[in-house]
Amino acid sequence: MFGAHKSTLDAKGRMNIPIKLREELGETFYLAKNIGTRCIRVYSEAEWNALMVSLDNLPAVKSQTIRRYLVGCADELTADKQGRVSVNNDLIAYAGLTTDVMVVGMGKPGMAEIWDKAAWTEFNESLDTEEEVRRVAEELGL
């Protein structure tokens, strides 16, 4: 899943997921809060199930907070014939979505993010991209 794709959120909270990403996500996919950045994480069914298994394998006392955060306002979705999905109001508010949004592939099958377009632009402009990439690559030994 690659690229940043423009979409529009209408007054009813509906938006289009680009066909290429829909094909990779599958028929059913999940929206949840993203940890660390105010955007919505999009999971394929396989990725969502793997995340739930990971949480199940952690001590409940440690995983409850994360589970509440992620699952508490998560949504299971299927796109309509036009490729639209309805994003719930809690997630819209969390990510600060307005009319113009971006659907960003995360380079991993079954995973994307939904950003408010202005927030996406601000995020990209705030990075010294080459320096940040170099620093992270060095930390990861790449």
43-85 tens-digit pLDDT: 999 999 999 999 999 998 888 999 999 999 999 999 998 889 9
Query: Are 127 and 142 spatial neighbours (Cβ–Cβ below 8 Å)?
Result: no
* Fold classification of 4-140 (topology level): Chemotaxis protein chec (3.40.1550)
Q: Which sign, positive or negative, has the C-alpha torsion 22, 63, 34, 98?
A: positive
Query: Are 91 and 75 spatial neighbours (Cβ–Cβ below 8 Å)?
Result: yes
State how far the Cα of 37 lies from the Cα of 124, in Å rounded to an integer: 13
Prediction pTM value: 0.87
Distance from chain centroid for Cα 80: 19
- Name residue 101's beta-bridge partners: 7, 116
- Name residue 137's beta-bridge partners: none
Q: Which residue has the tokens 């929206």?
A: 31
The residues spanned by each domain of the chain are 4-140
- pLDDT tens string 85-104: 999 999 999 999 999 999 99
